[in-house]
């Protein structure tokens, strides 16, 4: 599920967020370094894990502890590569846990258990952080009502490099699609308050589920519009492929888990879905999957633009290019699932 976008500058000025601790009160202003635990789950990614660990221990203005969780790797060399990676950094800075395969959400939870720092970072073993990742995201994560801060990943593949321009936090849009990858700076107290990752979501969307759990408690994410970590695209990246293949099933589970949030936003979520579908040049669909005439869509456009949920719809046009292309079958299922959830809550 690869979002499309243009290559951006390697570095742009940090976006200032109202209510966020200014630099003078953080490490750059002479305060203590941010205390962070970086959790790196690893399954058969031994050839990448060393670079991930190096990027974690090399963070600027941060007191970092790293936990690598070898989640029952079967390739023979990954357990050894994880142990070798533990020799990086200061003595005791990197810890390795070997466990029977339990799935990605469980591996992340295992790595986070026992953390004592203010922040958690979840980094996949085949990705890596820029040196200023924590220094730029941690101040944003300290904002009022903020549970986590996230950035724009720089996506690197065999033939191309681009920046995924993830949207700013938008709770309604979060009910339609996942806004950003799992790698960000998360306040540990918020993560623990919602019980961490749902371990039965091991087939995908476990990060999306986490953001929704946090939103359900009244917290929000804060975007820093800079590419501060590298998301590696390669032939072994199977998790997202599996999630896309099971989108309909997984989305139904997302809706079922968060009916309160869907009911809170009402029919505006459905309007948002239809707006996205139209902008992706797909048929505008109702619950039964029957296409509605383009003329009817045009008549409805002004009505939807006047609703609170879609008042900023022209802004959505810029967002859509950075989002995964919706699948028609999955969209039909999503509309039906949302409507059933809303009806049940009335």
| Ramachandran assignment for 319, one of left (phi > 0), alpha (psi -120 to 50 degrees), beta (any other) | alpha
- Predicted confidence at residue 317, as pLDDT, reads 37
- Predicted confidence at residue 263, as pLDDT, reads 84
- Predicted confidence at residue 246, as pLDDT, reads 76
Indicate the SS3 state at residue 78.
helix
Q: Could you tell me how many residues make up the chain? A: 346
Give residue limits of the domains in the chain: 23-236, 246-344
Specify the pTM.
0.75
Structure tokens at 167: 């949207």
- Predicted confidence at residue 304, as pLDDT, reads 37
- Predicted confidence at residue 120, as pLDDT, reads 99
Pairing verdict, β 119-122 and 184-187: antiparallel
Count the helix, strand and coil residues of the chain and give each as a percent rounded to the nearest 5: 40, 20, 40
Pairing verdict, β 94-99 and 62-71: parallel
Quote the CA–CA distance of 70 and 81 in Å, as a whole number: 10
Nearest to 49 by CA among 23, 71, 31, 30: 71
- Predicted confidence at residue 324, as pLDDT, reads 45
Block means of pLDDT (10 residues each) for the chain, length 346 residues?
33 36 49 94 96 97 97 96 93 96 98 96 97 98 98 88 92 90 98 98 94 97 97 68 69 88 81 71 43 41 40 38 43 59 57
CATH of domain 23-236: 3.90.550.10
- Predicted confidence at residue 126, as pLDDT, reads 95
């Amino acid at each position: 599920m690869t979002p499309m976008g243009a290559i951006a500058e390697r570095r742009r000025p940090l976006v200032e967020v109202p209510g966020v601790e200014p630099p003078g009160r953080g490490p750059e202003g002479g305060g203590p370094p941010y205390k962070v635990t970086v959790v790196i789950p690893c399954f058969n990614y031994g050839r990448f894990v060393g670079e991930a660990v190096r990027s974690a221990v090399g963070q600027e203005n941060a007191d970092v502890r790293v936990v690598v969780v070898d989640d029952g790797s079967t390739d023979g060399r990954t357990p050894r590569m994880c142990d070798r990676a533990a020799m990086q950094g200061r003595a005791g800075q990197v810890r390795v846990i070997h466990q029977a395969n339990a799935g990605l959400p469980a591996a992340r939870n295992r790595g986070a258990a026992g953390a004592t720092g203010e922040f958690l970072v979840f980094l996949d073993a085949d990705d890596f952080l820029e040196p200023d990742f924590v220094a730029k995201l941690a101040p944003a994560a300290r904002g009022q009502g903020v549970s986590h801060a996230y950035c724009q990943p720089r996506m690197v593949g065999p033939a191309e490099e681009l920046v995924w321009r993830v949207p700013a936090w938008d709770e309604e849009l979060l009910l339609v699609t996942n806004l950003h990858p799992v790698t960000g700076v998360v306040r540990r107290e918020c993560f623990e308050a919602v019980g961490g990752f749902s371990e039965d979501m091991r087939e995908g969307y476990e990060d999306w589920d986490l953001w929704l759990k946090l939103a359900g408690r009244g917290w929000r994410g804060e975007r820093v519009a800079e590419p501060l970590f590298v998301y590696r695209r390669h032939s072994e990246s199977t998790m997202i492929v599996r999630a896309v293949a099971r989108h309909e099933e997984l989305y139904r589970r997302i809706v079922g888990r968060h009916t309160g949030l869907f009911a809170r936003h009402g029919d505006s979520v459905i309007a948002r879905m239809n707006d996205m579908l139209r902008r992706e040049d797909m048929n505008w669909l109702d619950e039964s999957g029957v296409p509605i005439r383009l003329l009817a869509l045009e008549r409805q456009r002004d009505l939807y633009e006047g609703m609170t949920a879609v008042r900023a719809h022209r802004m959505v046009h810029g967002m859509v290019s950075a989002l995964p292309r919706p699948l028609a079958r999955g969209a039909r299922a999503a509309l039906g699932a949302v409507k059933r959830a809303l009806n049940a809550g009335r």
